[in-house]
Amino acid sequence: MEGLSDVLHGLSGCLAFVGYAPWALPQSGGFCRPRGRKTAQNRWHRKCNFAPQRPDVPATGWPLRPLGVPVEYVLILISTTLVNNIVLVKFLGLCPLMGVSSNLSAAWGMSLATTFVLTLSALASWLIEHWLLVPLHIEFLRILSFILVIAATVQFTEGLVRKASPALHKSLGIYLPLITTNCAVLGVALLNITQEHNLSESLVYGFGSAVGFSVVMVMFAGLRERLALATVPALFSGAPISLVTAGVLSLVFMGFGGMI
């Protein structure tokens, strides 16, 4: 019963989008970020956190800060967690998904570590791009310098985890330093640049991708814990059935397609 009330609570937040949708849907067929956000009008709207008034749209009276944050950030969050999930839709970060998802606690630890690294590196890479590479016209160093920053963040995280929980450190094993080469981390940093996100959007995008990664990790770990007790045919036991399951999950996430 408590579960239900939680869902209802969450629902009330989600329903707030209903008010947003009326003018967004007809033009784009779904949730959409207002385009042309470099215009003065949009700057203003971001500052005031109100949508530009459109005469052709019936007024709904819904405030446009349903969860206390500007709608576009929420949209980025939803987009990155579900619709354009970094793992199941963009197929980045499959290595830890396969490697560290055999039990829930390790998957949770990995999710936290990755969330930390992803968010931090999204921030750091944006700063490096816009404060260092662009002013000095050395954008060709982008990948190299991003990797450097990511590696440093991971190193930092590893020290942190080792100090905080030796057992978690042990169970994450090689996958912790391998976050460095987790394509999701570099991918998000680069996507932030190509999608011309500003600093706060980059941060939300990084965090949202990490949440998406964590959702899939935890979900997948739950499935694998159940799989561990199943009598999977020998031919498919282990990695094959996990990959099949990941494939099915990816199929399922296609259901969210077209929302944003």
Partner 1 sequence: MNSITHELPLRAAPHAHDRSSVDRIMLKVCLALSPATAYGLYLFGWPAIILFVVTLLAAVATEALCLRLAGLPLQRLLDGSALLTGWLYAATLPPWAPWWIGAGGVAFGLIVGKHLYGGIGQNLFNPAMLARVAVLISFPVQLTTWVNPMPLGSELAPGFVDALAIIFANADYAAHLSAAPSGVDAMTGASWLGASKVAVGAGTDVGQWLAADFPLTAAFSGHIRGSLGETSALLILVGGLWLIWARVISWHIPASMLGMLSLCAWLASHFNGHLFPGPLFQLTTGAAMLGAFFIATDYVTSPASATGKLLFGAGCGLLLFTIRSWGSFPEGVAFAVLFMNALTPLIDRFIKPRAYGRTLGGKTLKHSDMRKIV
Partner 2 sequence: MLTATLVLTLMGLILGGLLGLASRAFASNDDNPLVKEVESMLPGSQCGQCGLPGCGPAAEAIVNGTAAVTCCPPGGRALAESLAKKLDIDISTLGAAAVPQLAVINAEQCTGCTRCYKACPTDAIVGASKQLHSVISAACTGCSQCVAACPEDCISLQAETLSLTTWHWHKPEAA
Partner 3 sequence: MFAPRLFGSGKIRGGVHPDGRKDATSDRPILTNLPLPSRLYVPLNQHSGDDALPLVRPGDRVLKGQLIGKASGRVSASIHAPTSGTVLAIEAVTMPHPSGLPAMAVIIEPDGDDRWIEIPTPPDPFSLDPDVLASKVEEAGVVGMGGAIFPAAIKLRQGRRFEIQTLIINGSECEPFLTTDDRLMQERADEIVEGTRLIRKIIEAYRAVIAIEDNKPAAIAAIQAAANKVGAIEVMVVPAHYPMGSAKQLIQAVTGLEVPAGKRSNDIGVLVHNVATAWAIQQALVYGKPLLSRVTTVAGACVAQPQNVEVLFGTPIEHVFKVCGGLTGVPARLLMGGPMMGQILPSLDVPIIKGSSGVLALSKAEVNAHTSSPCIRCARCVDACPMGLVPLEMARNSRADKLDAAQEFGLRDCILCGSCAYVCPSHIPLVQYFEYAKGELADRRSSQQKQEYTKGLIDARKERLEQERLAKEAAKAAKEAAKAAKDAARAAAKAEKEAAQAKTQHPESTTTSPADNCVREEQP
Q: What count of other Cβ atoms lies within 10 Å of the Cβ of residue 159?
A: 11
Chosen residue from 11, 25, 57, 160 binding partner 2 by CB under 8 A: 160
Q: x/- binding map, residues 178-217, to partner 3, per CB under 8 A?
A: ----------------------------------------
Q: How many CB atoms lie within 10 A of CB 5?
A: 9
Q: Which of the stretches 25-33, 91-99, 139-147, 195-203 binds partner 2 when contact is defined by CB under 8 A?
A: 139-147
Q: List interacting residues with partner 1 (CB under 8 A).
A: 1-4, 7-8, 11, 14-15, 18-19, 21-22, 25-26, 29-31, 58, 60, 62, 104, 218-219, 222-223, 225-227, 230-233, 236, 241, 244-245, 248-249, 251-259
**Which of 97, 84, 75 lies closest to 219, judged by CA?**
97
Residue 23 CB-density burial (10 A; 0-12 exposed, 13-18 middle, 19+ buried): buried
CB of 152 to partner 2, least distance (A): 4
How far is the C-alpha of 100 from the C-alpha of 108, rounded, in Å? 9
For partner 3, which residue of 127, 228, 244, 252 counts as binding (CB under 8 A)?
A: 228
CB 132 to partner 2: min, Å:
6
Contacts of 64 by beta carbon, 8 Å cutoff, 6+ apart: 19, 20, 49, 50, 51, 70, 71
Q: Is residue 102 within the footprint of partner 2 (CB under 8 A)?
A: yes
State which amino acid sits at residue 41: Q
The verdict on 130 binding partner 2 (CB under 8 A) reads no
State yes or no: residue 1 binds partner 3 (CB under 8 A): yes
CB–CB of 20/71 below 8 Å?
Answer: yes
